[in-house]
Amino acid sequence: MTSPKNLKVVFWGTYDTGKPRNRIILRGLAEYGATVYECHKSIWENVEDKTQITGLLFYLKILVRWLCAYPPLIFNYFKQPSHDVIFVGYLGQLDVLILWPFAKLRGKPIVLDVFISLYDSIVFDRCLVGPHNPIAWAIYILEWIAFRAADMVLIDTEAHRQYLVDTFRLKPSKTGKVFVGVEPEFFPFPVDGTDTSHLEQHKLFTFLFYGQFIPLHGIPTIIEAARIIEGNPVEIIIIGRGQESGKVSDMLKEVPLTCINWIPWVEYEMLSRFIQSSDICLGIFGNSEKAGRVIPNKVYQILHSGKPIITRDSPAIRELLTPDQPGVILVPPADPKSLAKQMLKLFEMKRVNLKCKFHNSVKNQITPLAIGRETAKHLNNVVEGCS
């Protein structure tokens, strides 16, 4: 098997460097000792939520960017030095189809990081088109072919990996799991002798949710739970915007809540301050099948920040956490009563019980080095299998 020091990887495509997933894998491979050659053209500037692209002009703009990106990408690929494997980062379902014939010319295997299935996200999770819509069929066919053009496809959890196997009829040996991980410099783990003075700046007991407003996150469940606990000296900070912004706005207009503080946007670099100044962080609460298969970025970030978390129970989350771990509370999906019960239970605890650092047992599983090690293992398996 190729050692980390000898593994040479071309990281190729239009992958979105605005997404932590790509940054963490890139960094993790380098930290683990692999040599990484980047061959990249960006097309996703200023596009935070790809499924919310609207208007023919915007679609045409993205299409032109995509078409213009491939000639230089192909040219640059043939300028890359000798390497063992090509890694196509997220979002790469189209990239892998363009790359496939040229990778064959050089005799190099391709690993595609799926991260999310477009078919699952657009059709079933966000319900943007119905399963019988021709657009849904086209997306399924695109992914079906893309997954077969790659020598291996990677995804973020075992539950998600099994979904790919079942839905796209993939050989299990052709799939692998790599957790999303965290960028520790943005979400530092508390050091010994943790400073807890930040908790005193809030007179109210504070819960924090942040993320895109997508169905998977289950923000209406948080709003419904807030209605139950309204009247207690608590504050629920909600940071974000997206697909369900209108729905959330309508809910808050229908029944105004004094405990909700909605902040539409916070810079990525500022999120850690909100996490550390909150008493409890909230994960996801959606009841879609996808919500049960993923562990989103925010959960890893909260864990590495050492903060207590309430999130939905699921097969995916139990790959990393268990309900008996300190600082971990798992609730049924889309169940505002259960969420409110746990929020009140934590509120009634003395703050001193929440001032310690949590999740020390899992933090080393989600660093870039750990992610790089796991990714390199799969890359090595592909290289060995194709040699």
Residue bearing tokens 């605005």: 18
Q: What is the pLDDT of residue 193?
A: 46
> Is the domain of 356 the same as that of 373?
no
pLDDT tens-digit series, residues 6-38:
899 999 999 999 999 999 999 999 999 999 999
> Is the domain of 266 the same as that of 218?
yes
Domain membership flag for residue 187: no
Q: What is the pLDDT of residue 72?
A: 97
> Is the domain of 29 the same as that of 161?
yes
> Is the domain of 109 the same as that of 167?
yes
Domain membership flag for residue 293: yes
pLDDT tens-digit series, residues 367-380:
999 999 999 999 99
> Is the domain of 236 the same as that of 338?
yes
Whether residue 195 is predicted with pLDDT greater than 70 in this model: the reply is: no
Q: Token digits for 135? A: 């657009």
pLDDT tens-digit series, residues 68-125:
999 999 999 999 999 999 999 999 999 999 999 999 999 999 999 999 999 999 999 9
The residues that bridge with 11 in the sheet, in sequence order, are 38, 87
Q: What is the pLDDT of residue 194?
A: 47
Dihedral angle at the C-alpha atoms of 276, 277, 279, 284, nearest 10 degrees? -60
Three-state secondary-structure class, residue 151: coil
Domain encompassing residue 295: 197-364
Residue 74's Cβ-count burial label (10 Å; 0-12, 13-18, 19+) is middle
> Is the domain of 167 the same as that of 210?
no
Q: Token digits for 372? A: 């790089």
Domain membership flag for residue 23: yes
Residue 63's Cβ-count burial label (10 Å; 0-12, 13-18, 19+) is exposed
Residue 365's Cβ-count burial label (10 Å; 0-12, 13-18, 19+) is middle
Stated length of the chain:
387
Cα separation of 5 and 291, whole Å?
37
Three-state secondary-structure class, residue 135: helix
> Is the domain of 216 the same as that of 296?
yes
Domain membership flag for residue 109: yes
Q: How many CB atoms lie within 10 A of CB 81?
A: 8
CB 150 within 8 A of CB 90: no
Residue 294's Cβ-count burial label (10 Å; 0-12, 13-18, 19+) is buried
Residue bearing tokens 């993923």: 294
Cα separation of 359 and 86, whole Å?
34
CATH of the domain at 374: 3.40.50.2000
C-alpha distances (whole Å) from 387 to each of 5, 54, 84, 171 are 18, 45, 10, 19
Domain membership flag for residue 190: no
Strand intervals (E) in 264-344? 280-282, 309-312, 328-331
> Is the domain of 209 the same as that of 262?
yes
pLDDT tens-digit series, residues 67-79:
899 999 999 999 9
Query: Residue 190: which pLDDT band, with cuts at 50, 70 and 90?
Result: confident
Domain membership flag for residue 218: yes
Domain membership flag for residue 192: no
Domain membership flag for residue 351: yes
Q: What is the pLDDT of residue 353?
A: 67
Q: What is the pLDDT of residue 230?
A: 96
> Is the domain of 355 the same as that of 377?
no
Cα separation of 297 and 24, whole Å?
11
Please tell me the total count of domains within the chain. 2
The kind and range of the H/E element at 32 are helix 20-32
> Is the domain of 227 the same as that of 238?
yes
Residue type for position 242: G
CB 37 within 8 A of CB 11: yes
> Is the domain of 173 the same as that of 67?
yes
Question: Residues 6 or more apart from 244 whose CB is under 8 A from it?
Answer: 213, 214, 215, 217, 219, 220
> Is the domain of 257 the same as that of 147?
no
